Amino acid sequence: MVTEVCRLTMRGIKKSFAGVKALRGVDFSLRPGEIHALVGENGAGKSTLMKILSGAYSLDSGEITIDGQPVTISSPRAGKELGIGTVYQEIELVDDLTIAENIYLDRLGQYGLVHWRKIFSEAEKFMRGLGFDIDVRQRVMDVSVAYKQVVEIAKVLSAQAKILILDEPTAVLTPRETDKLFATMRSLRDTGVSIVYISHRMDEVFAVADSITTMRDGEVTGGGPIGDFNVDRVVELMIGRKLSTMYPARNVTRGSEMLRVENLSGDVFRNVSFSLHKGEILGLFGLVGSGRTEIARAIFGEDGHSAGRLFVDGREINPCSPYQGLKAGISLVPENRKEQGLVLDMPIKHNMTMSNITSVSDRLGVVNRKRENALAQSLADKLTVKTDNIDNPVDSLSGGNQQKVVFAKWLNTGSRIVILDEPTRGVDVGAKVEIYNLMNQLVADGVAILMISSELNEILGMCDRTLVIDKGAIKGELTRTEMSEAGIMRLVVGGQA
Amino acid sequence: MSEHTKTGTQNAVDVLRKFLPVAVFAILVIISSFLSQNFLTSPNIFNLLRQNSATTIVSLGMLMVILTGGIDLSVGSLAAFSSVLFATLIDTRGNDPVPLGLALAFTLACSLAFGALTGYLVAFQRMAPFVVTLASMTAARGVAYMISHAKTIPIANELVNIFNKRSFQGVPYSVLLALIIFVLVALLLKYTCYGRFIQAIGSNETAVRLSGIRTSYYTMSVYMVSAVMCTFGGIIESRTGVGDARVCQGLELDAIAACVIGGASLSGGKGAAVNTLMGVLILGLIGNIMALMKVAPYPQQVIKGLIIIAAVLLQGRDKKR
């Protein structure tokens, strides 16, 4: 074997957050000029590892070498100087500035003056070099999400990055834009840049990567040249079990119609119609920005809708606020539990009883503490929330347990229609299975679930039917027997043609 | 999870931090009693309490606004407005005065309407509380001058003067009122759904709204509560026997300072009634002891400012920022 100097080695990396082990001794290496896929479920530790590499987090123990030299990366700035560039999933551009300004934000000119001519011409040249012909004088807020992503990449590359970290860069891109990005990635690789490519999409991983590393629960579970792997093997390494045991089976017959949506239209979706029945889990699959979350919010009453009708149990409703949505018997587990689902510094028990405080308070609005404690404790036991005290702030829990508290809140309302927006995002594998079991139990009790997800496996494993949504419109419906990864992606891609 | 169980010392530190304003107040009392022999005499103590009863009441209303993450700059003006409106209504010089109960009810209603308008603009029109209450601060003071024609209005009503000047078993009535309101607010915040929700709204309004709670109504209501407190404060401030549009200048700043010294977070969600009361008393006591020691008024202000900074520094950094 030829010994070759690695571009990057990370050895024995450990990191804990408030006592929770996020990385338990991870080894990771990159060769010069390769595209290296890093895969794992949400919460596996991929992002934490990459944040340590980029300098956003400090490591607890372990060592990093770049081109054979030991380095300490104490800040994002230090990471940048070492040639490490990161493009995060969330776009972090200054919307009000032009594309060129964003690319050269930290070196706009000299003596506090902006060298307009220079940054415009260089930005233009740079973008063309990447294969994108675009007016760099446009403000970022005026271009599409896909182009914003490209601007992010350009910004990072223009700082002479030799290690490029791409965290789910294709999540918001169309297939054609994805192809273009892949071509850019390949040409960068051929100039010697090492690329870490984080993605959930197996087909893309196998299309573009040269090698792969899989992670689960803060540990590396496998890795090597991509040719040594196939999809089933990778998924197994990611979830630590065969796919078939991840999603518990259920045997529930579909009942009467509980929710009917007729030609619902809003700012980012139009003419959405479907019905949801008692005892079923209906999937709503779409990419970020497809309008899936907005549809859920409109049904719940958080956002308005411009046209269309909603029926619950055959009765028309017109919810104008979550309060009215809840009154109509609808619950929503929102996509971002820290910002939308929980009051983080409030005790676990107060979060659990929030949506139905009247269940533990008297007519004067005084909370009965004994009843509240008993109720919250029984919910915590039922959902196996791992805590030694329900008086602790909900902030002290891990992601999966926080999500269980959100579920408990809605369980306590007795809603018959439950909308779940990415219910297992940022949740570890064990808690995921518990949440799936809970969903099955709810359905068995006669609840109707609408589950929004961008994880194909989850949709395939849990749903009775799936609606595929793209650009605010429903592209098709697949029954259980028709559902497959290829079938769903075909509907998404079909929408692009 | 064992990682989250706290050690005994940590717990002690937490408790101390929680009730730090109480400790600071106690220490200040001890120091003051050494500094001046006149300090720990009952006339001085009751004088101190009487002087601060209006501020206490208004500060408790302010606390409820601050808990939701808002701010109410209009409290001083609303108190002055209440003072002159109430005095005008019971004025015996011209026509027949309005009966006392009716005058009080009408003043409260006007104040409530002011608070409701402010609260509506903040909660339903999503305007910044600072801006809205800055406007209502200017407007309410203007109305107060219009009603009084910039003159003081003598209060001849027997009952009002008894309330403002006499005492019950040695405790001035105004102090008694402040005490009752304090207990009510403390209970409200600790034991009721209402109290819990306004604190939760200050921590994370989105999450509370998405829990199916009508957050806008709660947000609007705290400005109404604050306005009611201003009416009480304004009438107490008429203790010199006149309604006056010039009273309570800068009361909003004292009330905010009291909340902040009492550990309330201006970004919302954090604060306690007892600590706000301590905030008022700490500020009042410093003024009192400096007056007893014959410190000139302008240096007094400088020292007050320094103490506000010190109190906030002691409480540690705000996690949210």
Q: Is A322–B210 a contact, with Cβ atoms under 8 angstroms apart? A: yes
Tokens 């971002």, residue? A336
| Residues in chain B within 8 Å Cβ distance of A366 | 191-193
Give me the long-range contacts of B310-318 (CB less than 8 A, separation at least 24). Answer: B311/B21, B311/B24, B311/B260, B311/B261, B311/B279, B311/B282, B312/B260, B312/B261, B314/B20, B314/B24, B315/B17, B315/B20, B315/B263, B316/B17, B318/B265, B318/B267
Say yes or no: A319 contacts chain B, CB-CB below 8 A. Answer: no
Number of Cβ within 10 Å of residue A334's Cβ equals 25
Helix (H, G, I), strand (E, B) or coil at A242: coil
Say yes or no: A370 contacts chain B, CB-CB below 8 A. Answer: no
**pLDDT per 10-residue tile (average), chain A, 497 residues:** 74 84 91 92 83 90 92 89 84 86 82 83 85 85 79 84 86 74 86 89 87 91 91 83 75 90 92 94 86 93 92 94 95 91 94 93 92 95 89 87 93 94 80 90 94 86 91 88 78 57
| Residues in chain B within 8 Å Cβ distance of A346 | 199-200, 203
- For chain B, the average pLDDT equals 88
| Listed residue (B191, B174, B205, B190) closest to B275, CA to CA | B190
**pLDDT grade for B320, boundaries at 50, 70 and 90:** very low
From chain B, which residues contact A within 8 Å (Cβ)? 1-5, 191-194, 196-197, 199-200, 203-204, 206-214, 269-270
Q: Is A19–B1 a contact, with Cβ atoms under 8 angstroms apart? A: yes
Q: Is A323–B214 a contact, with Cβ atoms under 8 angstroms apart? A: yes
Contact status, residue A448 vs residue A480, Cβ threshold 8 Å: no
Query: Is residue B321, in this structure, part of any structural domain at all?
Result: no
| B51-110 confidence digits (pLDDT tens) | 999 999 999 999 999 999 999 999 999 999 999 999 999 887 777 788 889 999 999 999
The token duo for A429 is 């594998």
State the smallest CA–CA distance between residue B267 and chain A in angstroms: 13
Q: Report the residue of chain B nearest A394, measured CA to CA.
A: B4
Whole-angstrom Cα distance, residue A196 to residue A178?
Answer: 16
Q: Among partner residues B5, B191, B210, which is closest to A340 by beta-carbon distance?
A: B210
Interface with B, mutate which of A354, A409, A412 (most B CBs under 10 A) = A354
For residue A253, what pLDDT is reported? 86
For residue B135, what pLDDT is reported? 96
pLDDT at residue B29 greater than cutoff 60 = yes
Task: Classify burial at A143, counting beta carbons within 10 Å of its beta carbon; exposed 0-12, middle 13-18, buried 19 or more.
Answer: middle
Q: Is A340–B200 a contact, with Cβ atoms under 8 angstroms apart? A: no
Q: Is B210–A332 a contact, with Cβ atoms under 8 angstroms apart? A: yes
| Residues in chain B within 8 Å Cβ distance of A328 | none
The residue-averaged pLDDT of B148-177 equals 83
Query: Is residue B200, in this structure, part of any structural domain at all?
Result: yes
Q: Among partner residues A20, A340, A388, which is closest to B207 by beta-carbon distance?
A: A340
Number of Cβ within 10 Å of residue A144's Cβ equals 13
Q: Let me know if domain A8-244 sits in CATH 3.40.50.300.
A: yes
Do the interacting molecules here have an ipTM over 0.90? no
Total tally of structural domains belonging to chain B: 1
Question: Please, which residues bridge with residue A12 across strands?
Answer: none
User: Domain locations in chain A?
Assistant: 8-244, 246-494
Interface with A, mutate which of B210, B219, B270, B319 (most A CBs under 10 A) = B210
Check if A8-244 and A246-494 are the same fold: yes
Interface with B, mutate which of A303, A345, A353, A371 (most B CBs under 10 A) = A345
State the smallest CA–CA distance between residue B110 and chain A in angstroms: 26
pLDDT at residue B190 greater than cutoff 80 = yes
Question: Please, which residues bridge with residue A26 across strands?
Answer: A13
DSSP string, B93-158: SSSPPPPHHHHHHHHHHHHHHHHHHHHHHHHTS---HHHHHHHHHHHHHHHHHHHHTTS-EE---H
| Residues in chain B within 8 Å Cβ distance of A20 | 3
CATH superfamily of A246-494: P-loop containing nucleotide triphosphate hydrolases (3.40.50.300)
| Residues in chain B within 8 Å Cβ distance of A406 | none
CATH code, B297: 1.10.3470
pLDDT at residue B7 greater than cutoff 70 = no
Q: Which residues of A199-222 are buried (b: 16+ CB within 10 A; e: fewer)?
A: bbbbebbbebbbbbbbbbbbbbbb
Backbone torsion region of residue A224, taken as left when φ is above 0, otherwise alpha when ψ lies between -120 and 50, otherwise beta: left
State the smallest CA–CA distance between residue B40 and chain A in angstroms: 39
| Residues in chain B within 8 Å Cβ distance of A404 | none
Domain of B45 in residue numbering reads as 38-314
For residue B219, what pLDDT is reported? 97
Q: Among partner residues A346, A350, A367, which is closest to B192 by beta-carbon distance?
A: A367
